[in-house]
Amino acid sequence: MKRDGENRSLWQDVQMPSSKPMNEDKNYDVIIAGAGISGITAGYLLQKSGKKCLIIEADNIGFGTTGGTTAHINTFYDAQYDQVIADFGEENAQLLAQTGPEVINQIKSIIAEHHIDCEFADRDSYIFSLDKDQTKKLDDLFEATQKVGIPTERISSNPFPIPFDTIIKIKDQAQFHPTKYIEAVSEEFLKMGGTISLGKKVTEVSEKDKMVEVKTDNFTYKTQDFIWATHVIPNMNRMNFLAAPYRSYVLAFTLQSDDYPEAQGADMYEPYHYYRTQEIDGQKYIIAGGEDHKTGQEENPEERFENLENYVRQYFDVDKITHRWSSQFYTPTDGLPFIGKSPGDEHIYWATGFDGNGMTFGTLSAMMISDCIIGKANKYEKLFNPSRLNVKAGIADTLKETADAVFHLIADKFTAEKIENLEQIKNGEGKTVSLQGKTLSVYRDESGKLFAVKSSCTHMGGTIGWNKTEKSWDCPCHGARFDIEGKVLNGPATVDLEKIELPN
């Protein structure tokens, strides 16, 4: 299967189902855009409840963040419980704490019902501090987990070979092989009569007379309900202020010893490092991640991999780095995801802002939205309501993210490197350059072939920059990404970059 980046993740050796031949049906009960864990799980739950569903995906199943996740299924989140208590109150934090166990049970029940072989495992998670400042933060987190009812205990040893100041164990976490899981869930969805249409982009969605009209490049559908399960909601400016795009870096490696901890771990750095063991077809790996940064705002992403590798080599007896990849996630400005009805609409739903907890919140979104569509009350509806405005938690970060995007919209216009001729672009190099008074983004592949696109992001005109490790053009304003030929990899852009023909 393909992914939205050049590096190969640990999860890409799975053969995903291809489109079922379309029967030209244009009317559905529910249409879902996006075939990652949120879209596939929502389709599965709704089709099972008797709804007639269509999942539309621009690429292949698992192409986006699900193909690049580290597949932790946790009951604690990037928005730490002490912060959630401060921003949303203790009652809401307790409510949030109920989501993880429910998600784990949901995933377990789907796996059990269909005998899915996806290396699911129950695990405990170990969070450790390395200095006094981190210990203070860890103490706050520990106290907060106790308040919200997450089973946590202080312990004195680390299953990972990393020294620590203080360590806590958070029980009852889980993990799995994400693409084996969604491949199997997709098959079940198809068996129940669901339809998946691949290689098709949703271009317009509008609600009229209690129905939703969904347009793709060459089709117009009608549906009772529509779900955006694409992270970014296209053509929705409000989204630009609610969640910010980040990239995280991941290594998978084998050890010289057989000392693979059956545990998950994370330190308290900002951004933090995270670890876990994964066994695939009898081969064990350690997965380690971190080094996060805002999309498009790192000139040398290669250095992020190097930092991560140096860090893990300090502690683990690394035998071989087998995989390395980076992936995109969206950090909500007030800390919690946006799941539920699109503001102002009755039949259009959002599932976005999952931060680094995509497997958990992706599944939760599917559960919540399918409840809402089939008319079942869901206790989390208010907490994750996309129309909420949390003045306490969100405003400062919203202003910060907006200022950052505006800065890049303006300042990056003047950063193109002036070159005299295209020979100055070496094999394997990508650059946004100014050539004879024109700004263009040029990549020369290893064989010397040139690819050029207009440098102006089709979302709002930000200047794209080269992501050397994933071989993509990334926009620093709101995180849109494009491949070397200008095709959209990640929104909010919906239109491909214009290609420029160059003599090769």
Q: Would you count residue 460 as binding ligand FES (CB under 6 A)?
A: yes
Which one of the spans 68-76, 310-318, 418-426, 460-468 is the region binding ligand FES (CB under 6 A)?
Answer: 460-468
Which one of the spans 16-24, 123-131, 343-351, 471-479 is the region binding ligand FES (CB under 6 A)?
Answer: 471-479
Nearest one of 62, 71, 70 to 3, comparing CA atoms: 62
Which residue lies nearer to ligand FES by CB, 304 or 478?
478
Q: Would you count residue 492 as binding ligand FES (CB under 6 A)?
A: yes
Q: How far is the CB of 446 from ligand FES (least distance, A)?
A: 28
The Cα–Cα gap between 46 and 370 comes to 6
Q: Phi, psi (5° rounding) for residue 187? A: -60, -40
Q: Would you count residue 236 as binding ligand FES (CB under 6 A)?
A: no
Q: Would you count residue 480 as binding ligand FES (CB under 6 A)?
A: yes
Q: How far is the CB of 442 from ligand FES (least distance, A)?
A: 18
Q: How far is the CB of 493 from ligand FES (least distance, A)?
A: 6
Which one of the spans 81-89, 161-169, 211-219, 472-480 is the region binding ligand FES (CB under 6 A)?
Answer: 472-480
The Cα–Cα gap between 186 and 170 comes to 31
H or E segment to which residue 330 belongs = strand 318-332
Q: Phi, psi (5° rounding) for residue 206? A: -145, 145
- Residue positions counted in the chain: 504
* Angle between helix 90-114 and 81-88 (nearest 10): 130
Among 96, 457, 484, 489, contact with ligand FES (rule: CB under 6 A): 457
The Cα–Cα gap between 226 and 42 comes to 11
Size of the site for ligand FES (CB under 6 A): 12
Q: Residue 56's beta-bridge partner residues?
A: 33, 197
Q: How far is the CB of 404 from ligand FES (least distance, A)?
A: 12
Specify burial of residue 217 (Cβ count, 10 A radius: 0-12, 13-18, 19+): exposed
The Cα–Cα gap between 297 and 285 comes to 30
Q: Would you count residue 497 as binding ligand FES (CB under 6 A)?
A: no
Q: Would you count residue 34 as binding ligand FES (CB under 6 A)?
A: no
Type of residue at 10: L
Which residue lies nearer to ligand FES by CB, 193 or 461?
461
Nearest one of 29, 12, 77 to 383, comparing CA atoms: 77
Q: Would you count residue 232 as binding ligand FES (CB under 6 A)?
A: no
Q: Would you count residue 475 as binding ligand FES (CB under 6 A)?
A: yes
Cis amide leading into 492 (omega within 30): yes
Q: How far is the CB of 406 from ligand FES (least distance, A)?
A: 10
Q: How far is the CB of 235 from ligand FES (least distance, A)?
A: 12
Which residue lies nearer to ligand FES by CB, 181 or 473?
473
Which one of the spans 259-267, 328-336, 392-400, 452-460 is the region binding ligand FES (CB under 6 A)?
Answer: 452-460
Contact call for residues 28 and 19 (beta carbons, < 8 A):
no
Q: Would you count residue 462 as binding ligand FES (CB under 6 A)?
A: yes
Q: Would you count residue 459 as binding ligand FES (CB under 6 A)?
A: yes
Q: Would you count residue 465 as binding ligand FES (CB under 6 A)?
A: no
The Cα–Cα gap between 489 and 482 comes to 5
Site string for ligand FES, 412-451 (x = CB under 6 A): ----------------------------------------
Strands (E), 364-486: 417-419, 430-435, 438-444, 450-454, 465-467, 472-474, 481-482
Q: Look up residue 398 and give its two tokens.
A: 């919203």
Contact call for residues 147 and 93 (beta carbons, < 8 A):
yes
Which residue lies nearer to ligand FES by CB, 225 or 474?
474
> Which positions lie near ligand FES, rule CB under 6 A?
457, 459-462, 475, 477-480, 492-493
